Amino acid sequence: MNMSGIGKVWKVGISGGSVLEMNSIEDFKEVIIEHFRRRGCTRPQVDISEDVIKQVDLVLQDANNLLAFRIFRGIVYSAAEFRVMIDEEILRATKLTEVFDKVYIVIPDTYTDMARSVISGRILDEVGIGIIAVDEHGNVEELLVPRPTKLTRRELGKGIEEIVGDLRRRKDEIELLYNSLKTEFGVLSEKITKIERTLSMLREEVDVLKGKLSTLPTRHEIIEEIGEKTLAPVEELPS
C-alpha cells in the first residue's frame, strides 16, 4: 500500500510532533483495515444504527467481537494538553462500549510517549478501550489491547438469562395451574349443570305431585264420607 499520502499531510508542530490532519483520515482507515484484516477481521455483518455510526470512524468484526475505531484529531503540543483532549476522547469511547465489544482510539505515533505517560492502562482495560499508534509509514502499534466488554455483558446477560429463565418457569407453572383450574372448573361446571338439570326435574315432579294432591279429598271430606257410611241405615233381615 502506498502510504506517501499520509506522509504528505503530516505536519510538524512547535514541539516537533507530527499531527494528523482531517484529509488523512481515509489513509489511516486503510492502514487499520489492512492491519486487522491480517488478523481475520472483516466488515461487520450486523446492523448498526446511524446515530452510532456517526460517532466512529471505522467498524470491523472478528470471530467474536465487534470493534469500533475513533481517530484522534487533536493538535497538542504538551502532555497537559494531550491529557485534556484524550480524556474527552476516552469519555466518548466509553459510551461506545455499550454497543461495541472493543473500542480503539487511534493516535499518531508522535503522541505515543504522551499517551504512555498520561493514560491509565488499567482503567482503559476495565472499560474495554484500546490505544493504537500509527506512524507516517503506515506501521501500526497497539499500545493497549482492550479486554472485550462482551465478557462483562455476558456476565450481565447470564444474570438476566437466569431471571428470564426463572420468570419462564413461573409462567409455565402458572399456565399449568391455570389449565388445571380450567379443567376442574369445566368438571365443576358440568356437575353444576347436571345438578341444575336434576333440580329442574325435581321441581317438575313436585309440581305434578302438587297437582295430584290438589285433586285429593281433604281430611274433613274423608271424615264426613266415613261418617256418612257409618250412619247409613241397616236393612232389617227377614224374620
pLDDT at 12 over 50: no
DSSP-derived secondary structure for 134-175: E-TT--EEEEEPPPPTHHHHHHHHHHHHHHHHHHHHHHHHHH
- pLDDT tens, position by position, 41-93: 998 877 888 888 899 999 999 888 899 999 998 888 888 889 899 988 988 99
In a domain, 81, yes or no: yes
Over residues 96-100, the mean pLDDT reads 88
Which of 128, 86, 123, 129 has its CA nearest to residue 107? 86
Provide the CA 162 distance to its chain's centre, in angstroms: 12
Which of 125, 173, 138 has its CA nearest to residue 38? 138
In a domain, 233, yes or no: no
Structurally, how many domains does the chain consist of? 2
The whole-number pLDDT of residue 2 equals: 34
CB 43 within 8 A of CB 25: no
Based on the domain organization, do 142 and 192 belong to the same domain? Answer: no
The whole-number pLDDT of residue 65 equals: 87
Based on the domain organization, do 159 and 138 belong to the same domain? Answer: no
C-alpha cell belonging to residue 236 = 232389617
Based on the domain organization, do 38 and 125 belong to the same domain? Answer: yes
Select from 130, 148, 166 the last residue of a domain.
148
The whole-number pLDDT of residue 34 equals: 92
- pLDDT tens, position by position, 112-131: 999 988 887 777 777 778 99
108 bridge partner residues: 134
Based on the domain organization, do 191 and 130 belong to the same domain? Answer: no
Mean pLDDT score of the chain, rounded to an integer?
77
Alpha carbons within 13 A on the beta-carbon side of 205: 6
Based on the domain organization, do 110 and 123 belong to the same domain? Answer: yes
Based on the domain organization, do 18 and 123 belong to the same domain? Answer: yes
pTM equals: 0.55
CATH of the domain at 62: 3.40.1350
In a domain, 237, yes or no: no
Based on the domain organization, do 72 and 168 belong to the same domain? Answer: no
- pLDDT tens, position by position, 155-188: 555 555 665 676 677 778 878 887 888 888 888 8
d(CA 17, CA 78): 10
In a domain, 115, yes or no: yes
Provide the CA 214 distance to its chain's centre, in angstroms: 77
d(CA 180, CA 172): 12
Based on the domain organization, do 121 and 29 belong to the same domain? Answer: yes
b/e per residue, 22-33, with b = 16+ CB within 10 A? eebbebbebbbb
* Share above pLDDT 90 across residues of the chain, in percent, rounded to a whole number: 18
Select from 103, 128, 148 the last residue of a domain.
148
Place of cell 508522535: 110
The whole-number pLDDT of residue 64 equals: 83
Select from 148, 182, 197 the last residue of a domain.
148
The whole-number pLDDT of residue 9 equals: 40
d(CA 229, CA 209): 29
Which of 95, 87, 115 has its CA nearest to residue 55? 95
| Structural domain of 122 | 4-148
**Better pLDDT: 20 or 46:** 46
- pLDDT tens, position by position, 216-235: 666 666 666 666 666 555 55
Based on the domain organization, do 87 and 191 belong to the same domain? Answer: no
Based on the domain organization, do 167 and 49 belong to the same domain? Answer: no
Based on the domain organization, do 79 and 184 belong to the same domain? Answer: no
Based on the domain organization, do 167 and 92 belong to the same domain? Answer: no
